[in-house]
Structure 1
Amino acid sequence: MYPELVTDALFSTDRLERARKAAADAGLDALIVTPGADLRYLTGYDALPLERLTCLVLPVQGEAVLIAPQLEVPAAQVSPAGSLGIEIAGWAETQNPYAFAAARLPRGLGAVGVDNHMWAEKLMGFRDALPGVRQELAGPVLGGLRMRKTPEEVEALRRAGDAIDRVHSRMGEWLRAGRTEREVARDIADAILAEGHDRVDFVIVASGPNGASPHAEASERVIERGEPVVVDIGGTMPDGYCSDSTRNYVLGDPPAEYAAYHAVLLLAQRAQTEAVRPGITAEQLDAIGRDIITEAGYGEYFVHRTGHGIGLETHEEPYIVSGSARPLEPGMAFSVEPGIYLPGRHGARIEDICVCTQDGGIRLNLTSRELGVLS
């Protein structure tokens, strides 16, 4: 679960120190982080989200401590958190875990940051254990750190991209006329694991009119010859970093209308990926593809943002969307996935994970973006 090859480089106390500084800059006295991507980012511990409290207590001034139920302490110790040199403190079944965690914080706190996905019951528990202490979302603090990937993180995303590319390259093994979307999706899910992922996060196999729904569920619909199929797949690698890539396929000759707008989509997506560079804003990058699609007459059918950040979660900051004036910076990793969806007929989406570099951008998904014509 925690391969030494990747965790040594990915998870270090440097993340804790940067989180401390960012919290202090935001006017917070401490961070409290429960199981999820934020905890894994800071400690490497992929903790189970249980009714029993697990959390990282990270004061701006003072020592970090990982609080866990006593029976979960061994799991925390064998995770990367065990090699960070931070204390792992277990609480007993009869103890109040919130009071136990609060006791590890300095006195006189004004404000603490809590992770955005903390369960409500745990938030209430900390409210009672820290009376008079203001609770704020830690998302702006931790999101600012997580969206700027280190070279080690980019390499982890590259491994994830390579793994999902290998699955797309095998699509001809499973995508055949007469099979249902669900049958194909099951085979793809098995391949995602076989190609190195630890977990399958999603498998969209959307044929014919189902392709007009961007987040269609694989169904019992039988795939027929001549029908376009949108395949959007992704998973989580053993190191916690995610993959996500979409390609379009057709069994036999595609409908002329579909081939025409897939060519427009390909032009738009290529223009966007080639425009990735430091300083361009998220909304400017979105507009590059959207304008091409609109000029071709399909603007009303591009119904979602251009992309989302990716890392320890499939969807995280930054979001490539109209209205976001956030400039891209080196290390930011995100999808570029314009789409065209014709209700009742078919749809298409082309998606690559891109990384902004010091002097431009790189794509982490390298399979052909052309329409995949299968026999």
Structure 2
Amino acid sequence: MTSSDLYPVSRLAAVQEATAKAGLDALLLTPGPDLRYVSGYDAKPLERLTCLVVPASGEAYMMVPRLELPAAQASPASRLGLEFVAWDETDDPYAVAAARLGRVGKVGKVGLADRMWAMSSLRFREVLPEAEQVLAGSVLRELRMRKSPAETAALREAGQAIDSVHRQVPELLRAGRTEREVARDIAEAILASGHQTVDFVIVASGPNGASPHHDVSDRVIQAGEPVVVDIGGQLHNGYCSDSTRTYSVGEPPAEFAAYYEVLRQAQEAACAAVRPGVSCESIDAAAREIIAEAGYGEYFIHRTGHGIGIETHEEPYIVSGNGEPLEPGFAFSVEPGIYLPGRHGARIEDIVVCAESGGERMNDTPRELVIV
């Protein structure tokens, strides 16, 4: 799998077509996930403007600081036939971009990269005062949600890499160690597994497990405590991993063991419900109904899942109220959880890709409670 598979030349034309269809005159994509998705260029976010300008008609071009030109030309963006417009320290790149856009007609509506810095969006407002600004995500979401076979393969590679880390966790967890000590070892393992970056490491022991987004602390892990381990990172190709497993250091409390089995059944049911045509909210309901029927509904306090790709969290979101039907290529997490404040908690998370035949899991480590 090469960068040309993940970031194909044809994507720019598809984005340009979608821009015109949405009634926008141009997309303005600064460093971040949107720029990387369209061009393959993982540009540094700097105070100096780098911006891919994709007009609804006419040729796209990329504004780059002259000192960043070699990096841009060495990136997959060089395959797109783009003009790289290098600017010098005494130039106003925003004015240059606006002037070039004005050559193709009046600019009435532009899409800004969802992660564009306010500094840049306000400068674009100054140089394009009559242009309405909207989020580029309104155009790109339809493309980014539908993962290609190459993107699915990248997510599978990411899943296998993070699975290899979870297989090491039982060796790292033991009573007497702090969450921070365990997390440090896990972070090293994530990088050793082939990830380029460590995006997050959650090690939540005992009562900390009742906080879904607990990070790490100097709390000492005790015998008989459940520990939630949620980890993920980004591979060199830009695609992300995210997987949660819950462990117990010795035999857990009886009430925990009871609701963990409920959680396992709920996660299994939600994964089994994935297929084209069913709604995102129905996957959430498949997990939530089982948890609620067992009496733990009030302790499942977040959505069942989020999309994943070149961002850990992207569309579609698996949540009540999202009636959007699943399509082949949609990739998202299935991660129900039960959290008892002051006591403990548990979560099980897999990345699932919707295929014609149903849901395909990108993770395959045990979902049963692992007692270490």
The bucket for the TM-score relative to the shorter chain is over 0.9
CA drift at 1:83: 2.2
* Corresponding residue to 1:245 among 243, 246, 266: 243
Whole-angstrom distance in 2 between the partners of 1:6 and 1:221: 43
* Corresponding residue to 2:62 among 58, 61, 66: 66
Whole-angstrom distance in 2 between the partners of 1:153 and 1:275: 22
* Corresponding residue to 2:13 among 2, 10, 17: 17
SS at match of 1:206: strand
Whole-angstrom distance in 2 between the partners of 1:344 and 1:15: 49
Whole-angstrom distance in 2 between the partners of 1:351 and 1:104: 47
- Residue in structure 2 matched with residue 55 of structure 1 by the alignment: 51
* AA partner of residue 120 (structure 1): A
Whole-angstrom distance in 2 between the partners of 1:319 and 1:6: 28
User: Per-residue displacement from partner, 1:189-210 (whole Å, max 9, x unpaired)?
Assistant: 0000000000000000000000
- Residue in structure 1 matched with residue 22 of structure 2 by the alignment: 26
* AA partner of residue 236 (structure 1): Q
Q: How does 1:356-367 map to 2 (within 5 A)?
A: 356-367=354-365
* AA partner of residue 351 (structure 2): I
CA drift at 1:99: 0.8
User: Per-residue displacement from partner, 1:316-337 (whole Å, max 9, x unpaired)?
Assistant: 0000000111111110000000
Q: Does structure 1 retain, via aligned residues, the 8 Å contact 2:20–2:57?
A: no
SS at match of 2:19: helix
CA drift at 1:173: 2.2
- Residue in structure 1 matched with residue 282 of structure 2 by the alignment: 284
Whole-angstrom distance in 1 between the partners of 2:263 and 2:156: 24
CA drift at 1:121: 1.4
- Residue in structure 1 matched with residue 343 of structure 2 by the alignment: 345
Whole-angstrom distance in 1 between the partners of 2:133 and 2:170: 52
Runs of 4 or more, structure 1, over 6 Å off, are none
Whole-angstrom distance in 1 between the partners of 2:38 and 2:121: 20
The two structures, once aligned, show a CA RMSD in angstroms of 0.9
SS at match of 1:201: strand
Q: Does structure 2 retain, via aligned residues, the 8 Å contact 1:244–1:314?
A: yes
* Corresponding residue to 1:127 among 125, 128, 134: 125
* AA partner of residue 32 (structure 1): L
State, as a whole percentage, how many aligned pairs show the same letter: 65
CA drift at 1:107: 2.5
Q: Does structure 2 retain, via aligned residues, the 8 Å contact 1:273–1:361?
A: yes
CA drift at 1:120: 1.1
* Corresponding residue to 1:160 among 158, 161, 175: 158
Q: How does 1:64-143 map to 2 (within 5 A)?
A: 64-105=60-101, 106-143=104-141
* AA partner of residue 303 (structure 2): R
- Residue in structure 1 matched with residue 200 of structure 2 by the alignment: 202
Q: Does structure 2 retain, via aligned residues, the 8 Å contact 1:57–1:104?
A: no
* AA partner of residue 222 (structure 1): V
The alignment's TM-score, normalised by the length of structure 2, stands at 0.98
CA drift at 1:35: 0.6
Give unpaired runs (5+ residues) of structure 2. none
- Residue in structure 1 matched with residue 177 of structure 2 by the alignment: 179
SS at match of 1:158: helix
Deviates more, 1:99-108 or 1:206-215: 99-108
The alignment's TM-score, normalised by the length of structure 1, stands at 0.97
Q: Does structure 1 retain, via aligned residues, the 8 Å contact 2:9–2:79?
A: no
- Residue in structure 2 matched with residue 148 of structure 1 by the alignment: 146
User: Per-residue displacement from partner, 1:262-294 (whole Å, max 9, x unpaired)?
Assistant: 000000000000110011111111011100000
* AA partner of residue 334 (structure 1): F
SS at match of 1:205: strand
